[in-house]
Structure 1
């Protein structure tokens, strides 16, 4: 018996990682395969029984896991982002979310006959979309840039805001169990706020005054989060979730405090927790709870899809320049995500302990909303966007992997020609110069979970791998091949790859087109830049065509790109031999004197 427990725990973890990999491979939100694994392992196959496996530890385990998830989400809520976004986004995450939640609560009350307290809690829970489900959907659907930006930033900001709203509604709900409801709710609010602010203050002091070595930042922050959660609950029952949410928001908005390292760690930990929790929580779902909901659940789903969300979007859009087609797209794309599932399951556990007979219905209904919205909108969003004429034009931009001087020079040259470009590198010193020059950057690893959520690839259709590490270039090409297509992935050759020895040569199936040709290497470009060569644009005419360009400059010029008469970017590579004609613009690396001439010609 005791040997079976470690085996079961290991299998849960392996199944969670397998579901995450399957989601990555199929370009699906991870929540779908995780829920499927949990349902199969639990109620369908009967292999996993969480209540028997964990016993009295189930509730504390889920509570601590959700506390970390909420803290990580709160760390992303920076008020500067909210102030700097379009009014439409601010409206959606403020009074839009309130209207959405109230209408959903009304539907749950009328269709499911839930008590008002649970109906309001359900309404607050399913207002949350979340970047983990929205970001993959946007990459697949590719709506217009304005719509993509609204949906992208709404999903990021609504995550902690919606979670905080749900926590507040829950705190008020459980306070009704006590004789002095208002006093208990006030105690929960005060304890949660004070413990959250105190935890944030203590961690900020330790980091600012360097009383903690850097390698302890992550683990101490985790210990403080769990400590704040448990001590707040000990002082005022159920105030812990509010405390960790307040702590995260306060740290995210603290001045002169670098929390990226903590955020990266929490994202990795959250990924692990979500994988385990979702399988465990889905395994607890009673299939009879779904069948017992009847047509009332259908009514709630229809209200969510066709009444609550559209009403919130139309209200938020008052005074904006959005037309009805754009509003319709925003109203349709709102899949519910991880926070809704995790928090609803925890609340259901707590409400069961408090004697609410409808608690399991709350969790089952929330999971049903998640599965239906994610599945339905994943299948139909592209059709809706295309039928309404709201699809983005063919992407013109490029994602450049690597922040070395060659990559920065290429990025700046494309940026000056108004080609959308993102320069990505995990080292700040590599992207700082590009940012100072006005080039859009992504500070991070393009293969990370953070990039999946926050790297906005709207309008980007090509990947140029210019990193100093061939392994990173290869992995980036493999990772983004399903998104951009294999014919839009280019890798710049490194000098050490010129050797044909087996120890250096990459497996053929992993290779991509060589950027700028077989003989052009990163070191060769860097040497020329060091000698004063510069990337310039040269217009071609009937009297000065590409043959004349070649005859004039010969091997002194290295053609890099070409812009056709429609301003579409074409790449010189081993994949195709370009023959630009009159009306085209050739972007090339030219010697100092010729660079000046190229600049004058371009002017």
Structure 2
């Protein structure tokens, strides 16, 4: 056991972020790494037990964290995303959820051996997936837009529905088992649910209005949202347990669809908080499990229940609810398999376990074990199989890392063409149609629109592109674009063309140097310089480094006017050269550079001379 609660909090935070880093570094599902970490420091080695150590604070901390995570997820639910997927999302959130509830309850009764009352409560709860598990998986698996959006919407919309179904089932049990049953309690349940939706909508509208009218300054907007979210969840939850999840979801969706410009800025802040909370909460929950709970997982009825939920209940609910939605067979197969359960299932099941045990249902004792068995099994199975299955079903955009180039001009089009020839996904984006004529003529993929507009966000599929290159003739726009997309692409994957101008005493820029992304290639090469080189006949040359022809010999042979552009690793990884990043080519790498046409002329001249010599020899014969 750790000597102090403060040290335990620090340890949980460090291990949570370390788990996220390991998952990112080795391309593993983050949820799996966090779960294993929690099990190791909790029931396996007994270093911490957050539930005991935090005492009465454990429940409120978990609940507040879940509320913030669910709100952050719902803040991404713009109704414009539903274009083309509205019917599948509606079906999966209503008919699909209902079918999963009924089938899951039957499975819990006949296979897990639970009483009808407990089975219907847990059956309602287990329809949830949730943003805590879906979002990290979608970030790692490059799914095509339609299945990715359906899974995201389902995870966020069905989360509160599952909790409400569990409450609804419990309220029915209370009514049925009462000595003098009446429907008042059920009416209160529906009234509380309606209140939660209206309350969340009203808070969202009110907060949005205050943001738009300037009643809340910029530096207070993010803190205000966090506080209001917790208040929204708590107030609704006090009226009836678990309606708080519904309330914060309604609040998030309301704000997401008000068109508030500052919401996108706060969304990045909320995403950072969400990652931190998911990292810590998952470790806290798994570390709080008892050894006896883990051993119970291996009982035949629990294993059978988990297998049926994964291989029968979920696929059947998807295939039945998706009839007539226009989804392909491959999409239905993917959706029918991917349904990892997460934090909401763990937290709410522990609440109902205690409530049902207090009501005299002794079989509710295994709810925690059953829940963790399903959560861990689905997280591991779906986390490791999503990418593989998506590739097999041709629903993945995984492949060589691509580049999204903003600005269509003579240089960027030639650059895009060289990437295309190297089988690297590339697209040129420009809001001026005339500029795109160069891309059209070269046969390079292009998109007509403003990269910073909301319409582009919904219309342009950016999943295949790992790098963003801002190369317009407007240095301020390049910096703004890079700053906007830094949180999405990562600091090392966002580049802008050099804004510097060469003077006698060095280089200067009209834009603050630290604003935006990294300088692409070298500060010596502005867009104007690069376009001039293209017009002078500079060529794109590929050079493969070998054991016989290494980096040193290549550097000795190169022309001093050569511009290093990018290199391609043997495994297909793309790296752009930048003076702000240390890129060291190695054996097997292909270096692509922009070189003077001198060597090309020499090759042509040598070929001409060779032809002359051959003609002369033939004449002598």
Q: Which range, TM-score by smaller chain?
A: 0.5 to 0.7
Give the C-alpha shift of residue 163 in structure 1. Answer: 0.7
Match of 1:159 among 152, 155, 158: 155
Partner deviation per Cα, 1:544-593 (whole Å, 9 max, x = no partner)? xxxxxxxxxx99999989xxxxxx999999853789xxxxxxxxxxxxxx
Q: Which residue of 1 aligns with 2:34?
A: 34
Change (3 A) 1:112 1:218: same
Partner deviation per Cα, 1:159-213 (whole Å, 9 max, x = no partner)? 2211121132133245455774213313421432232223213212211211000
Partner of 1:298, secondary structure, is helix
Paired residues of 2:114 and 2:364 also in contact (CA < 8 A): no
Give the C-alpha shift of residue 334 in structure 1. Answer: 3.8
Give the C-alpha shift of residue 36 in structure 1. Answer: 1.5
Match of 1:250 among 249, 254, 266: 254
Give the C-alpha shift of residue 267 in structure 1. Answer: 1.9
Match of 2:223 among 205, 219, 223: 219
Q: Which residue of 2 aligns with 1:576?
A: 590
Greater Cα shift, 52-61 or 330-339: 330-339
Change (3 A) 1:570 1:49: closer
Number of residue pairs matched?
509
Partner of 1:399, secondary structure, is strand
Q: Which residue of 1 aligns with 2:305?
A: 300
Q: Which residue of 2 aligns with 1:311?
A: 316
Normalising by the residue count of structure 1, what TM-score does the alignment of the two structures yield? Answer: 0.67
Greater Cα shift, 260-269 or 521-530: 521-530
Greater Cα shift, 102-111 or 286-295: 286-295
1:391-406 residue pairs with structure 2 within 5 A? 395=399, 398-400=402-404
Partner of 2:525, secondary structure, is helix
Paired residues of 1:399 and 1:422 also in contact (CA < 8 A): yes
Change (3 A) 1:129 1:464: farther
1:203-602 residue pairs with structure 2 within 5 A? 203-256=207-260, 258-292=262-296, 294-319=299-324, 324=329, 327-341=332-346, 343-344=348-349, 348=353, 357-359=362-364, 361-380=366-385, 390=394, 395=399, 398-400=402-404, 409-410=412-413, 420-421=425-426, 438=448, 459-460=464-465, 521=522, 524-528=525-529, 575-576=589-590
Paired residues of 2:38 and 2:283 also in contact (CA < 8 A): yes
Distance 1:535 1:287 in 2: 73
Paired residues of 2:16 and 2:283 also in contact (CA < 8 A): yes
Change (3 A) 1:130 1:63: closer
Paired residues of 2:196 and 2:247 also in contact (CA < 8 A): yes
Partner of 2:448, secondary structure, is coil
Distance 1:560 1:194 in 2: 55
Tell me which structure has the larger Cα radius of gyration: 2
Partner of 1:114, secondary structure, is coil
Paired residues of 1:188 and 1:238 also in contact (CA < 8 A): no
Partner of 1:123, secondary structure, is helix
Distance 1:261 1:37 in 2: 32
Distance 1:443 1:355 in 2: 58
Distance 2:3 2:394 in 1: 56
Paired residues of 1:492 and 1:522 also in contact (CA < 8 A): no
Q: Which residue of 1 aligns with 2:8?
A: 8
Paired residues of 2:427 and 2:446 also in contact (CA < 8 A): no
Paired residues of 2:134 and 2:155 also in contact (CA < 8 A): no
Q: Which residue of 2 aligns with 1:107?
A: 107
Unaligned runs of at least 5 residues, structure 2: 179-183, 437-444, 472-477, 503-518, 540-558, 567-571, 578-584, 594-621
Distance 2:395 2:495 in 1: 29
Q: Residue 172 in 1 paired to residue 168 in 2?
A: yes
Partner deviation per Cα, 1:437-486 (whole Å, 9 max, x = no partner)? 52695899xxxxxx9xx9966555888797879x99xx99x9899xxxxx
Distance 1:120 1:296 in 2: 17
1:38-117 residue pairs with structure 2 within 5 A? 38-85=38-85, 87-88=87-88, 90-117=90-117
Q: Which residue of 2 aligns with 1:447?
A: none
Unaligned runs of at least 5 residues, structure 1: 445-450, 482-488, 499-513, 539-553, 562-567, 580-603
Change (3 A) 1:286 1:571: closer
Normalising by the residue count of structure 2, what TM-score does the alignment of the two structures yield? Answer: 0.66
Change (3 A) 1:76 1:125: farther
Partner deviation per Cα, 1:346-377 (whole Å, 9 max, x = no partner)? 65566667776555533332322232223234
Give the C-alpha shift of residue 218 in structure 1. Answer: 0.7
Paired residues of 1:412 and 1:437 also in contact (CA < 8 A): no
Change (3 A) 1:67 1:323: closer
Paired residues of 2:400 and 2:574 also in contact (CA < 8 A): no
Give the C-alpha shift of residue 98 in structure 1. Answer: 3.0
Distance 1:48 1:347 in 2: 24
Partner deviation per Cα, 1:408-443 (whole Å, 9 max, x = no partner)? 94599669989854689xxxx99xx99995269589
Distance 1:203 1:535 in 2: 57
Q: Residue 196 in 1 paired to residue 206 in 2?
A: no
Paired residues of 1:422 and 1:442 also in contact (CA < 8 A): no
Q: Which residue of 2 aligns with 1:185?
A: 189
Give the C-alpha shift of residue 491 in structure 1. Answer: 8.2
Paired residues of 1:204 and 1:257 also in contact (CA < 8 A): no
Give the C-alpha shift of residue 214 in structure 1. Answer: 0.7
Paired residues of 1:200 and 1:247 also in contact (CA < 8 A): yes
Partner of 1:46, secondary structure, is coil
Change (3 A) 1:411 1:187: farther
Paired residues of 2:345 and 2:371 also in contact (CA < 8 A): yes
Partner of 1:374, secondary structure, is helix
Give the C-alpha shift of residue 253 in structure 1. Answer: 2.4
